[in-house]
């Protein structure tokens, strides 16, 4: 074999080192160079790539080909092949959690989301074994524009009331309102041990103070991350540090006899966070290596294919803002994004500015994080709002709430000239360091119009904000680190969890091992299976923040009807003897007809009532409530036929 190879190698000493020359000859050959040659010769030359020495090249190629075929396959080293098989088995063991779970176990755990699916916010989930249960987060959400007079929404606690004797604790992942905002409302009715890291508990403590629940602070149980806590008899919980748009966020590992469930909470993978504490990927990998029964992971940003930038990437844009600003800088962001506020204050100090914090939630959150040493800032850099008017504009940074255009926020009140201390000037630079939450675009646009009418410049470039939620690439990393047998995408609308499901399949989770939950669906998970077992009652409770009291459902429905269809009030006096009207009815309408048509409409109602009385069932006049109900139906049908409206109808019949 060696001799044959040598013969092939030495058969063309003149051509083997000139491949580029041949190529150059082909490229530079004249198009008409073969026009006087026979056609067959031209074709032969074409097949041999039109080389200057086609025969020599063809012979050489044949010799080469002949030499390769004669060499045959190399002998197989059985020892190497055996190790290929061993490594493949190692991959199967590493990647397939099926091998790491106790498939003989009859234990199971049930998961029931009561909020946070099919929506953004309102996160709350129940984890149950046969004898015990825990809650993970108790969050609030915000109303839509049709919920008139409603300030916040909290979950329906009906199912929690059913199982309250089983509940051994509440687990808090982080301090955002959509994860802790409903805790005071739950504690007004039921109290359970509350476990979390210091910042979430401190912020819940502030809420307890506002709701006059100071005595319930005794239920607080602060935890240490990376330490396993036994809660009740059936649950072992570990908090793992996670990066997010708020300080001191956590993912949690919930271990029961059935196996370990990893609940990510809200997260992103920030390798260069402001405080220098990156996500604890080591602990996630540790559990992934041991074997994870199920992963429940944040789906909020599942459509974004590019990695979520680090919080530190906002710094250059903030530096640029302060270096160019000629007047006051008014920065608005989420009050919980303390690291964003902290960076802005650092640049204000760099350029010699004092800081004024306006907005109750912003003041409270900044104060708490400084009290507990999450951030450290000198107190002499802060000034009160009433001092701002006496300072040079270039010497002040105003940090405030209202980046989402909320009607009662400090920035919105400044924009319409109703804030007590701050009036917008043409020299002001307004920095919106946030993105619009879906549904808030209209209110933000309205606020921007007001600000620009005042002459202020507005900076809301993309590089002034980064998301706090994981994109597809970070979701993939989470899936690969945890390597779960089952996967439940959570936190988001249906399109978000659906997209997250696709990412899970890409990362090796079989489609049959992924379920898309909705609020109220109870999922039973065991080492051998995952299935839906039942549906429990869920919903929202409406809250008026002015008095922190619940608003009944029918009140909100009446308000919606009033806003869209109006109201008709009818007062009629009817003779008990003759079953006829004693006098003309008094008809009052709002939102139905124009004022100039009131008399005409009242005449219509009079005719309707007369006709109703003529055709009413015998003896109906004795049943006052039934009489009013039937009249309401008749009036409603008439108005719908004529106006295609369903107004609120309030009949009041006086029997004489």
What are 67-114's pLDDT values in tens digits?
555 567 788 889 999 999 999 988 888 888 777 898 999 999 999 999
Nearest by Cα to 402 from 452, 440, 368: 440
What share of the chain has pLDDT > 90, as a percent? 61
Beta strands in 388-444 (DSSP E): 396-400, 429-432
DSSP state of 643: H
Nearest by Cα to 509 from 478, 471, 470, 474: 478
Q: Tens digit of pLDDT for each residue in 214-242?
A: 999 999 999 999 999 999 999 999 999 99
Question: What's the confidence (pLDDT) of residue 655?
Answer: 82
Reported as a pLDDT band with limits 50, 70 and 90, residue 120 is confident
Tokens at 219, concatenated = 């239920």
Nearest by Cα to 505 from 529, 479, 534: 479
Q: What is the mean pLDDT of the chain?
A: 87
Q: Which of 40-49, 395-404, 567-576 has the highest mean pLDDT?
A: 395-404
Specify whether the CB–CB gap between 201 and 217 falls below 8 A. Answer: no
Give kind and range of the element (H or E) at residue 446: helix 441-453
DSSP state of 398: E
Mean pLDDT of 388-411: 91
Question: How long a stretch of residues is the chain?
Answer: 656
- How far is the CA of 582 from the CAs of 222, 417, 598, in angstroms? 72, 55, 21
Nearest by Cα to 439 from 146, 153, 138, 155: 146
Report the relative pairing of strands 249-256 and 235-242 from DSSP bridges: antiparallel
Question: What's the confidence (pLDDT) of residue 214?
Answer: 95
Catalogue all structural domains in the chain, each as residue range(s) with its CATH number.
2-71 (no CATH), 109-306+468-543 (3.60.15.10), 313-460 (3.40.50.10710), 566-655 (3.10.20.580)
The percent of the chain in helix, strand and coil, each rounded to the nearest 5, is: 40, 20, 35
Mapped onto helix, strand or coil, the DSSP state of residue 546 is coil
What pTM did the predictor assign? Answer: 0.81
Tokens at 444, concatenated = 């933000």
Nearest by Cα to 628 from 570, 560, 567: 570
Specify whether the CB–CB gap between 562 and 591 falls below 8 A. Answer: yes
- How far is the CA of 566 from the CAs of 515, 596, 643, in angstroms? 44, 16, 12
Specify whether the CB–CB gap between 135 and 128 falls below 8 A. Answer: no
Q: Is the pLDDT of residue 207 over 70?
A: yes
Mapped onto helix, strand or coil, the DSSP state of residue 453 is helix
Half-sphere exposure of residue 578: CA atoms within 13 angstroms, side-chain side: 8
Q: Is the pLDDT of residue 154 over 80?
A: yes
Q: How far is Cα 620 from Cα 309, in angstroms, rounded to an integer? A: 71
Specify whether the CB–CB gap between 242 and 250 falls below 8 A. Answer: yes
Q: Residues near 10 by Cβ (< 8 Å), separated by ≥ 6?
A: none
Mean pLDDT of 363-371: 95
DSSP state of 370: H
Q: Tens digit of pLDDT for each residue in 305-318?
A: 999 999 999 999 99
Mean pLDDT of 596-622: 84
Show the DSSP H helices in 211-290 as ranges: 281-290
> Strands across the sheet with 152-155, in order?
152-155, 540-544, 549-551
Nearest by Cα to 286 from 482, 97, 487: 482
Mean pLDDT of 292-300: 97
Q: Is the pLDDT of residue 416 over 80?
A: yes
Half-sphere exposure of residue 16: CA atoms within 13 angstroms, side-chain side: 10
Reported as a pLDDT band with limits 50, 70 and 90, residue 50 is very low
Q: How far is Cα 490 from Cα 501, in angstroms, rounded to an integer? A: 10
Nearest by Cα to 656 from 570, 572, 576, 571: 576
Beta strands in 450-516 (DSSP E): 457-459, 484-490
Mean pLDDT of 171-191: 96
Q: How far is Cα 80 from Cα 7, in angstroms, rounded to an integer? A: 32
Q: Is the pLDDT of residue 3 over 80?
A: no
Q: Tens digit of pLDDT for each residue in 123-147?
A: 999 999 999 999 999 999 988 777 8
């Amino acid at each position: 074999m060696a001799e044959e190879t040598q013969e092939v190698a030495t058969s063309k000493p003149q051509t083997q080192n000139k491949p580029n020359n041949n190529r150059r000859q082909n490229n530079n050959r004249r198009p008409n160079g073969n026009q006087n040659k026979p056609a067959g010769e031209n074709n032969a030359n074409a097949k041999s790539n039109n080389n200057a020495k086609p025969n020599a090249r063809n012979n050489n190629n044949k010799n080469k080909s002949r030499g390769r075929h004669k060499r045959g396959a190399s002998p197989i080293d059985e020892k190497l092949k055996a190790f290929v098989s061993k490594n493949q088995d190692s991959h199967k063991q590493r990647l397939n959690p099926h091998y790491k779970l106790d498939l003989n176990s009859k234990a199971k755990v049930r998961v029931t989301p009561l909020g946070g699916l099919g929506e953004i916010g309102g996160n709350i989930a129940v984890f149950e074994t046969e004898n015990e249960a825990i809650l993970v987060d108790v969050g609030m959400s915000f109303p839509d524009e049709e919920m008139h007079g409603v300030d916040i929404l909290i979950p329906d606690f009906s199912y929690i009331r059913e199982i309250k004797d089983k509940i051994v604790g509440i687990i808090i992942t982080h301090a955002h309102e959509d994860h802790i905002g409903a805790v005071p409302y739950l504690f007004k009715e039921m109290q359970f041990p509350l476990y979390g890291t210091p910042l979430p508990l401190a912020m819940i403590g502030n809420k307890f103070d506002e709701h006059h629940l100071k005595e319930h602070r005794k239920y607080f149980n602060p935890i240490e991350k990376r330490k396993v806590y036994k809660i009740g008899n059936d649950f072992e919980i570990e908090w793992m540090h996670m990066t997010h748009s708020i300080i001191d966020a956590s993912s949690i590992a919930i271990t029961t006899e059935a196996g370990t469930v990893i609940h990510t909470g809200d997260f992103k993978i920030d390798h260069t966070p402001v405080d220098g504490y990156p996500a604890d990927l080591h602990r996630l990998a540790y559990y992934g290596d041991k074997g994870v029964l199920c992963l429940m992971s944040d789906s909020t940003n599942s459509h974004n294919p590019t990695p979520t930038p680090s919080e530190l990437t906002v710094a250059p844009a903030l530096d640029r803002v302060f270096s160019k600003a000629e007047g006051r800088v008014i920065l608005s962001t989420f009050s919980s994004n303390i690291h964003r506020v902290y960076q802005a204050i650092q640049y204000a100090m760099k350029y010699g500015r004092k800081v004024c914090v306006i907005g109750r939630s912003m003041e409270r959150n900044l104060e708490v994080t400084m009290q507990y040493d999450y951030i450290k800032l000198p107190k002499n850099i802060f000034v009160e709002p009433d001092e701002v008017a006496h300072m040079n504009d270039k010497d002040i940074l105003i940090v405030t709430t209202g980046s989402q255009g909320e009607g009662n926020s400090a920035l919105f009140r400044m924009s319409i000239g109703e804030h007590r201390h701050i009036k917008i000037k043409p020299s002001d630079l307004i920095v919106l360091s946030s993105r619009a939450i879906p549904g808030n675009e209209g209110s933000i646009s309205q606020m921007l119009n007001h600000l620009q009418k005042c002459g202020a410049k507005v900076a809301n470039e993309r590089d002034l904000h980064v998301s706090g939620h994981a994109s597809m690439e970070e979701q993939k990393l989470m899936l690969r680190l945890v390597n779960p047998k089952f996967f439940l995408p959570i936190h988001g609308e249906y399109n978000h969890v659906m997209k997250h499901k696709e990412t899970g399949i890409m990362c090796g989770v079989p489609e049959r091992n992924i379920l898309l939950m909705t609020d109220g669906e109870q999922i039973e998970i065991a080492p051998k299976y995952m299935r839906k077992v039942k549906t429990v009652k869920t919903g929202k409770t409406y809250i008026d923040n002015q008095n922190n009291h619940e608003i009944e459902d029918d009140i909100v429905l009446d308000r919606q009807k009033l806003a869209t269809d109006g109201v008709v009030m009818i007062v009629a006096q009817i003779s008990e003897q003759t079953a006829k009207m004693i006098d003309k009815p008094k008809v009052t309408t709002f939102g139905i007809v124009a004022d100039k048509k009131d008399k005409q409409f009242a005449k219509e109602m009079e005719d309707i009532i007369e006709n109703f009385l003529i055709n009413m069932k015998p003896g109906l006049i004795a049943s006052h409530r039934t009489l009013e109900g039937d009249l309401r139906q008749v009036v409603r049908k008439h108005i719908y036929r004529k106006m295609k409206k369903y107004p609120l109808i309030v009949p009041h019949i006086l029997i004489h």
